[in-house]
């Protein structure tokens, strides 16, 4: 009898261990019996984190991740309303909301299958949203009226880029909201998945289109640069003309002042000479002759042909000058 107790006890312990299962934090569990999910009145029985029991040998446990997961979608090409191609890279945040439906619709809780179906839904809605908008609406967000001037005609808006920014009412955020709301219902109904968030990470243009756009942008910037340079040259000419006018005015005023000063000096000198001539005409004549000699014979190469008996040489021929005649 004792010999049978040990095997029976061992089998009992093994069966008890086989009937226990543990669900980790962040996971949910389902018990599969004969290929069917156990349910309560048609609702799948979902096991929360903790220790639970099942029938050994007949039941098996399927655990599913209950945390928010990220589906990093591949870049795809879309066509805008302008018939231009854009390449958009997106990601989706999702989690399982109905574990029983998710298990049944994804072939046993296959995450790869779920993401493939979810990506198809998101891509279809995003394609219709992109096809109804232009590129400038897709790549830009809504206008921030708090940082823009009160009026589009404000003098503060002087650059072409700022004026263009005022004219664009971007719908990038609206597109993401529409995709999120457009796929949330079908994802829950078909897959038992709740879409938490949807974002467009990157929006690129194909290389052939990017090059043409870069050329157009470069031409536009060069046109703006030429306009600025021409305006700068115009302002430079105005400043230069004003400066030349001021220089000419200053020089004319200086020349007028100099002429007035020189005229006053000549008048004073004439008065001094007149006074000197009146006091001593002989001495005055002598001084004037010396000055004439100095100016006439200042250069050694000068030749002066005069009659030696002329009045010009009166002080050279006679040291007493006119008084000796």
pLDDT tens, residue by residue, 170-216: 788 999 999 999 999 999 999 999 999 999 988 888 877 777 778 88
List, in order of start, the domains of the chain with CATH numbers: 2-65 (no CATH), 69-205 (3.30.479.30), 293-325 (no CATH)
Confidence at residue 155, expressed as pLDDT on a 0 to 100 scale: 42
Phi, psi dihedrals of residue 71, rounded to the nearest 5°? -105, 105
Q: CA-CA distance, 88 to 205, in Å (whole number)?
A: 9
How much of the chain exceeds pLDDT 90, in percent? 36
Q: CA-CA distance, 224 to 233, in Å (whole number)?
A: 14
- Cβ atoms of 44 and 64 within 8 Å: the answer is no
pTM of the model as a whole: 0.56
pLDDT tens-digit series, residues 102-160: 988 888 888 999 999 999 999 999 999 999 998 888 888 765 555 444 444 444 444 45
Confidence at residue 238, expressed as pLDDT on a 0 to 100 scale: 94
Instruction: Spell 135-146 as b/e; 16+ CB within 10 A means b.
Output: bebbbeeeeeee
Confidence at residue 324, expressed as pLDDT on a 0 to 100 scale: 43
Q: CA-CA distance, 205 to 282, in Å (whole number)?
A: 106
pLDDT tens-digit series, residues 19-63: 888 899 989 888 888 878 877 776 778 888 998 888 887 888 888
Pure H helices in the chain: 2-19, 99-105, 111-131, 135-139, 160-167, 172-191, 207-279, 281-296, 314-317
Measured N-to-C along each axis, helices 111-131 and 172-191 cross at an angle, to the nearest 10 degrees, of: 140
Confidence at residue 229, expressed as pLDDT on a 0 to 100 scale: 94
Q: CA-CA distance, 27 to 137, in Å (whole number)?
A: 41
Confidence at residue 254, expressed as pLDDT on a 0 to 100 scale: 95
Q: Across residues 66-87, what is the average pLDDT? A: 89
Confidence at residue 206, expressed as pLDDT on a 0 to 100 scale: 82
| Residues paired with 86 in a beta bridge | 78
Confidence at residue 58, expressed as pLDDT on a 0 to 100 scale: 82
Nearest to 182 by CA among 140, 106, 130, 126: 126
For the chain, the average pLDDT equals 81
Confidence check: pLDDT of 15 > 50: yes
Among 105-109, 223-227, 245-249, 258-262, which stretch is predicted with the lowest mean pLDDT? 105-109
Confidence check: pLDDT of 322 > 80: no
Confidence at residue 158, expressed as pLDDT on a 0 to 100 scale: 43
Confidence at residue 307, expressed as pLDDT on a 0 to 100 scale: 65
């Amino acid at each position: 009898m004792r010999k049978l107790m040990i095997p029976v006890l061992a089998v009992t312990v093994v069966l008890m261990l086989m009937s226990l299962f543990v669900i980790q934090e962040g996971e949910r569990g389902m018990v599969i019996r004969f290929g069917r999910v156990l349910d309560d009145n048609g609702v799948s029985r979902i096991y929360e984190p903790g220790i639970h029991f099942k029938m050994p040998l007949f039941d098996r446990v399927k655990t599913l991740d209950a945390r928010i997961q990220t589906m990093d979608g591949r870049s795809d090409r879309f066509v805008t309303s302008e018939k231009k191609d854009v390449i958009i890279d997106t990601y989706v945040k999702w989690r399982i909301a109905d574990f029983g439906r998710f298990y049944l619709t994804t072939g046993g809780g296959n995450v790869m299958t779920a993401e493939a179906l979810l990506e198809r839904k998101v891509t279809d809605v995003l394609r219709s949203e992109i096809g109804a908008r232009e590129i400038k609406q897709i790549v830009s967000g809504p206008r921030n009226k708090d940082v823009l001037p009160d009026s589009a005609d404000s003098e503060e808006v002087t650059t072409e880029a700022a004026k263009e920014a005022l004219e664009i009412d971007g719908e990038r955020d609206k597109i993401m909201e529409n995709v999120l709301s457009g796929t949330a219902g079908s994802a829950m109904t078909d897959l038992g998945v709740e879409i938490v968030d949807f974002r467009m990470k990157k929006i690129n243009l194909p290389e052939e289109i990017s090059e043409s756009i870069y050329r157009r942008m470069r031409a536009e910037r060069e046109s703006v640069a030429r306009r600025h340079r021409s305006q700068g040259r115009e302002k430079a000419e105005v400043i230069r003309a004003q400066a030349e006018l001021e220089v000419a005015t200053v020089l004319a005023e200086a020349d007028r002042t100099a002429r007035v000063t020189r005229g006053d000096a000549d008048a004073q000198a004439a008065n001094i000479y007149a006074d000197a001539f009146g006091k001593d005409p002989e001495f005055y004549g002598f001084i004037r002759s010396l000055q004439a000699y100095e100016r006439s014979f200042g250069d050694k190469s000068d030749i002066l042909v005069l009659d030696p008996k002329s009045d010009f040489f009166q002080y050279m021929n006679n040291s007493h000058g006119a008084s000796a005649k």
